[in-house]
Amino acid sequence: MYLSSGRSAPHRLGGLSGRVVTLAFDPDGRWLAAVSAGSELAVMDTAHPSAPVVRRAVRTVTSLGAGLIKPDRLAIDRGGRLVAAQTDSIGVYDVRGSSGPRWLAGTYDCSGARDLAFAGGELIAAFDSCASIWNAGTLRMERQVYFPRTGNALVGHDRILYGSFSHVLLLDHRRTSPLPSADAAPGQPHPVLSGVIADKTVSTRRSPIQPVADDGRVAAVLQDARLLFWDLAAHRIRALLPLAFPATCPSETKPRPPAVCAASFSPNHRTLLVSGYCPPPNMDGSSEEGRRHATYRFWKVDYPSW
């Protein structure tokens, strides 16, 4: 792994035992956590690149998943001490200690996090239809918050950016209302309904909207290989950037699979990196051969500053 400010040559931070599969910066952009395909977790201090790299083995709750289930979501706190990683469950690692992960309590309908983030003394896991919030110090669940719709969620600027099939919403996971129809799991708080800060109709295409970034002023989302920027103060879409990539991937089967897009927001909130991926037709995209024949595209976008 290498670190570059854009003004100097990349500086090598450290290596992992295998291909890097997941990366995460802390909210201030100083600490970097990374996980390899060999289930090795590494934490690096980018302010002191020559400092020793802290390494831990990533574990799973079930023994059958050991070495097979790779973390697909990762978060690190501001102090670089706590790392949350999702395998078959969400585990929190204290990288300055020697003990194993602490597995967080959850529920069946809130499983498979779309996003993990430490924010304001809390650890937030955002799912398709709900979010679980734990106290970052005690790791005790404080709230289980349900969303008005089902879609894709991203923990943004101390709130949740949420996309359905035609709408983008800003949700407040702290300002909630009762949800009488939901039952609380034993030992967990009663589920509540999230507050809605803003609701914007993006299009009538009825295709999934993927939240990408939120810096507190402008929110970015992806729909059908189009990058849209929502000015939160003016409550309107300020810019639409079509990406030179198909919305669906070539395939001999119907329906054709959608293209997979991912995005990374720079710690200084100035640059957005977007990647597009399509597996090769009639080939397993998760195999080594499939990855070699897949179609990849990458874009670097200056984040707007209206």
Q: Supply the pLDDT for residue 5.
A: 62
pLDDT, tens digit, 9 for 90 and up, residues 73-118: 999 999 999 999 999 899 999 999 988 999 998 766 677 889 999 9
Average pLDDT score over residue span 278-289: 79
List CB contacts of 243: < 8 A, sequence separation 6 or more.
225, 226, 227, 261, 274, 276, 297, 299
184-214 tens-digit pLDDT: 777 778 889 999 999 999 888 778 899 999 9
Angstrom distance (rounded) from CA 92 to CA 76? 9
Q: What confidence category does residue 154 fall into, taking pLDDT thresholds of 50, 70 and 90?
A: very high
Query: What pLDDT, in 10s, does the model give residues 260-279?
Result: 888 888 877 789 989 999 98
Query: Whole-number mean pLDDT of the chain?
Result: 86
Average pLDDT of span 152-168: 91
- Across-strand partners of 296? 277
Most confident of 38-47, 63-72, 134-143: 134-143
- Greatest mean pLDDT among 21-25, 91-95, 174-178, 186-190 lies in 91-95
Question: Where do the domains of the chain lie, and which CATH numbers do they carry?
Answer: 1-103 (2.130.10.10), 104-201 (2.40.128)
**Smallest Cα–Cα separation from 210: which of 115, 286, 300, 104?**
115
pLDDT over 70 (residue 8): no
| Residue 304 identity (one-letter amino acid) | P
- How far apart (Å, rounded) are the C-alpha atoms in residues 211 and 161? 6
Helices and strands of the chain, counted as H and E runs: 1, 25
Question: Which residues share a beta bridge with 297?
Answer: 276
pLDDT band at 10 (very low <50, low <70, confident <90, very high): low
What single string gives the DSSP state of each residue in 107-120? BTTB-S-SEEEEET
CB atoms within 10 A of CB 229: 21
Provide the β-strand partners of residue 134: 123, 141
Count Cβ atoms below 10 Å from residue 194 Cβ, excluding itself.
25
**Strand, helix or coil at 276?**
strand
Distance, in Å, from the CA atom of 157 to the CA atom of 159, rounded to the nearest integer, reads: 5
Highest averaged pLDDT of the listed ranges 26-30, 63-67, 115-119, 189-193: 115-119
Percent of residues, the chain, with pLDDT higher than 70: 92
3-state secondary structure of 103: strand
Cβ burial 118-142 (10 Å sphere, 16+ → b, else e):
bbeebbbbbbbebbbbbebeebebe
d(CA 179, CA 191) in angstroms, rounded, equals 6
* Alpha carbons 201 and 136: distance in angstroms, whole number: 34
pLDDT (0 to 100) of residue 95: 93
Predicted TM-score (pTM) of this structure? 0.86
Tell me the pLDDT band of 18, cut-offs 50, 70 and 90: confident
pLDDT per position as a tens digit, 223-252: 988 999 999 999 999 999 999 998 888 888
